[in-house]
Amino acid sequence: MLGAVLTGVMVLLFLRDWRTALVVVVNIPISILAAMVALWATNQTVNLMTLGGLALAVGILVDEATVTIENIHTHLGGGKKLAVAARDATTETVIPRLLAMLSILAVFIPTLFMKGAAHNLFVPMALAVGFSMMASYLLSSTLVPVLAIWLLRTKHGGGSSKATLFERFRGGFRGLSAVLVGWRWAVVPVYLISCTTVPRPS
């Protein structure tokens, strides 16, 4: 519940739309419930390790839906109709979201080769993370765009021309990045010097 609330606040802060926040928040409990069903199907129990795995996965559960819904807003800002924007935005992020999920799941593969007590402890946690992340990926590719169409249709008849806080932040970051890249001959040496001269704790 705390993760869902904080996620909703974050989305409201950047996109200033309670409908968008609701779409992202709804994705979290459904993904966790799907993971619980998968854990039950694999003869796992609800314990400290599986709950810890679900807690670890909350971050990527948020990311999957947030990336999809933010990209929908980006396409809406380009003047597309809502349904077309939802389809194009979801299709555009399918592969990047899949690669992000697989990169995180790869970290937990070594737990499958553990032996003894370590195997009994960490395999349930890895399964909890994997099941919840896979559920979130599927929901972000199916349920999230559908909910976006249902909930945003009353707000967007076509495109949205109002710049969001996140878009303004992204524009400022893009300008800062361009300046830093243009002065990279000075930025890189300063960065390397600062990294080598920072005092380390004894």
Per residue, the 3-state secondary structure of 38-103, as one string, reads HHHHCCCCCCHHHHHHHHHHHHHHHHHHHHHHHHHHHHHHCCCCHHHHHHHHHHHHHHHHHHHHHH
Give the model confidence (pLDDT) of 112-136 as tens digits: 888 888 888 889 999 999 999 999 9
Residues 2, 27: Cα–Cα separation, whole Å:
14
Give the model confidence (pLDDT) of 150-170 as tens digits: 887 755 544 444 556 667 777
Question: Which pTM was predicted?
Answer: 0.70
Give the model confidence (pLDDT) of 189-199 as tens digits: 888 888 887 66
Per DSSP, the three-state class of 155 is coil
Give the model confidence (pLDDT) of 101-111 as tens digits: 899 889 888 88
